[in-house]
Structure 1
Amino acid sequence: MTDLPASVPRSVAPVVLDHPLVQHKLTRLRQAATSTAGFRRLTRELSLLMCYEATRDLPTEPVEIETPLERMEGRMLSGKKLCFISILRAGNGILDGMLDLVPAARVGHVGLYRDHDTLEAVEYYMKLPEDVAERDCIVVDPMLATGHSAVAAIDRVKAAGGKRIVFVCLLAAPEGVACMNAHHPDVKIVTCSIDRGLNEKGYIVPGLGDAGDRLFGTR
């Protein structure tokens, strides 16, 4: 993990992935010349690596199994396991890769859009598993910019009973980390980079542009 920028409150401890493969793929993702297909593929690959870190603390239990040679005690996930929650629409770019790694996970969706004048999150859709309170929840969105959308989504997950929550994003801004820390200090952030900050339009800089537009080929 890398040290945090001085502008990030020290009470926050996001996990910043500094693995060479992560940083290589992230650099390619940032490039303006990367095609829609390439951006989608790189996001999927990065989501696998982020999921590995986000699930590090999942509980396991011993199980007796039979290998081709003998019986042994292995370990498997215990309890209700996972729920991935995508903040629409761009969160689906991360969700797809995580489901490759954990195909049995339940899936929830929270539909939010950012008001371009106030930069506040407005909800238009929400659907979560009924037993979300019994699952470890991983909320995904490519960007943690102002933090308003992420905080609003986690507000709703907690209101539905979610307790053990991790937030996963490709990029974060110090402002978004501070916002998350102020509202949900119990939520761990897993990200590939904490960038310099936000521009006058609320976009992360240097960033990678609008993740949703780049994932789906829209403008």
Structure 2
Amino acid sequence: MQGVTVIDHPLVQHKLTIMRDKRTSTAGFRRLLREIATLLCYEVTRDLELSDVEIETPLETMMAPTLHGKKLVFASVLRAGNGLLEGMLDLVPAARVAHVGLYRDPKTLTAVEYYFKAPEDIGDRLTIVVDPMLATANSAVAAVERLKERGAKDLRFVCLLAAPEGIERFRGEFPDVPIYTAAIDRQLNEKGYIVPGLGDAGDRMYGTK
């Protein structure tokens, strides 16, 4: 699919399979989500711009590459996005963080905002939006709309699983925002859940129902 990158690294796929298994404990799911987030972050930041700076090693002075410009913003779609956020911050601890609090209305499946906080200079930074599931895309679309209103210009969306319906909706709204995912599953069910999926990521991460 145009604008969609499936990260099929063997370690990503192995960890995702364990996460899908309903026998995986809350602690195990949470740990795996953090680990897989680091691997996803590695891929989504592969093309970051570098510039050379002069440093002094123990042996001599040299020009060496470093990240160019301001560091990243990770935008977590609460609450499940925090599971991905933690793993990404392990890799890029200097990143700024935005939080977009949304919940899905159980009857209409629309996204309802209850919290928003983002860095003032978000427009000068690459913003990576993280949410484990791209299902109906209602939450993802609402989050990106809100971040763009705040000034974000350069965005990428990262998830564990995506449904074809969610990809179509998201790309229709934001053809300028690429999607990175570990897998594209078959479809949504009548309740708007991805199947075969892995259940509700937030519930499995926090042990709630």
Partner in structure 1 of residue 122 of structure 2: 132
Offset, 1:120: 0.8
Distance in 1, matches of 2:76 and 2:11, equals: 24
Pairing 1:48-197 to 2, within 5 Å after superposition: 48-197=38-187
Give deviations 1:54-113, integer Å, cap 9, x for gaps: 111221111111122222211101111100000000000000010010001000100001
Structure 2 contact 134–167 (Cα < 8 Å) conserved: yes
TM-score, with length taken from structure 1: 0.94
TM-score, with length taken from structure 2: 0.98
Q: Percent identity?
A: 67
Tell me which of 28, 35, 52 is aligned to 1:45.
Answer: 35
Distance in 2, matches of 1:56 and 1:166, equals: 12
Where structure 1 has 5 or more consecutive residues not aligned to the other structure, the ranges are: 1-9
Distance in 2, matches of 1:52 and 1:132, equals: 21
RMSD: 0.8
Please state whether the residue corresponding to 1:15 is helix, strand or coil.
Answer: strand
Question: Bigger shift: 50-59 or 86-95?
Answer: 50-59
Residue type matched to 1:208 in 2? L
Offset, 1:13: 2.5
Structure 1 runs (4+) greater than 4 angstroms displaced: none
Structure 2 contact 3–175 (Cα < 8 Å) conserved: no
Q: How many residues align?
A: 209
Partner in structure 2 of residue 203 of structure 1: 193
Give deviations 1:122-173, integer Å, cap 9, x for gaps: 1111000011111100000000000110000000000111011010000000
1:30 aligns with 2:20: yes
Residue type matched to 1:130 in 2? E
Residue type matched to 2:96 in 1? R
Offset, 1:119: 1.0
Please state whether the residue corresponding to 1:104 is helix, strand or coil.
Answer: coil
Where structure 2 has 5 or more consecutive residues not aligned to the other structure, the ranges are: none
Residue type matched to 2:23 in 1? A
Structure 2 contact 188–194 (Cα < 8 Å) conserved: yes
